[in-house]
Amino acid sequence: QQPVQSPQAVILREGEDAVINCSSSKALYSVHWYRQKHGEAPVFLMILLKGGEQKGHDKISASFNEKKQQSSLYLTASQLSYSGTYFCGMITQGGSEKLVFGKGTKLTVNP
Amino acid sequence: DTEVTQTPKHLVMGMTNKKSLKCEQHMGHRAMYWYKQKAKKPPELMFVYSYEKLSINESVPSRFSPECPNSSLLNLHLHALQPEDSALYLCASSQVPRGAINEKLFFGSGTQLSVL
């Protein structure tokens, strides 16, 4: 089942913060975050395995609420290079342990 | 070398043509994947090879035929495609098969396929 990702699009000015949310209707093993720039390959950002775990990648961090089956990606003091489409991927329990991506959030950072 | 290399970058083919997409990695990864991505959509899994054997086929039509000749190479053979098959085809690899829930995928830049 496809994760529900929101918002669909975000427009920021450089230096502003953003939060992207992802949720599942099923219990999760893990949450994966990728960023894809236009015309490029998706690039791995991070994986979260445990409830409440937060991981960081430069000024990009994420949390995972296992009970609520939700994850949030936090982009702090955004840079122009953060522009792209962010996909969350989830592996749900009781399934075939395949990674299924959400529909994506298009982030645009303007000067 | 942390790259997954895909060729060609662009491909235009007719519905009666036979063509192949190629993917190569030299990271020693033992799992390789084909994803299909339509414009403004997420990647959708097609096939997974685990230790050179097909482990997952996501009910993909037989006009798509994957092949994994060795641990570094992955091919996707195309035959009698339909216009709706036009998409970006992404190859990816990971250290171990996707059954491991904490595996990082390395994606290639993809082949943009147009079927006329």
Task: Test B108 with A41 for CB contact under 8 angstroms.
Answer: yes
pLDDT at A83 over 80: yes
Contact between B73 and B30 under an 8 Å Cβ cutoff? The reply is no
Partners of residue B102 in chain A, C-beta under 8 Å:
30, 47, 49
**Distance from C-alpha of A49 to C-alpha of B83, rounded to nearest angstrom:** 40
User: Residues A7-29: what's their mean pLDDT?
Assistant: 94
With pLDDT > 90 as the criterion, what percentage of chain A qualifies?
Answer: 63
Mean pLDDT of A19-41: 92
Residue of chain B whose alpha carbon sits nearest to that of A93: B101
Q: Nearest C-alpha of chain A: how many angstroms from B90?
A: 8
Does the pLDDT at position A51 exceed 80?
Answer: no
| Amino acid B100: pLDDT | 57
- Which pLDDT score, from 0 to 100, does residue B56 have? 87
Which chain B residue shows the shortest CA-CA distance from A96? B99
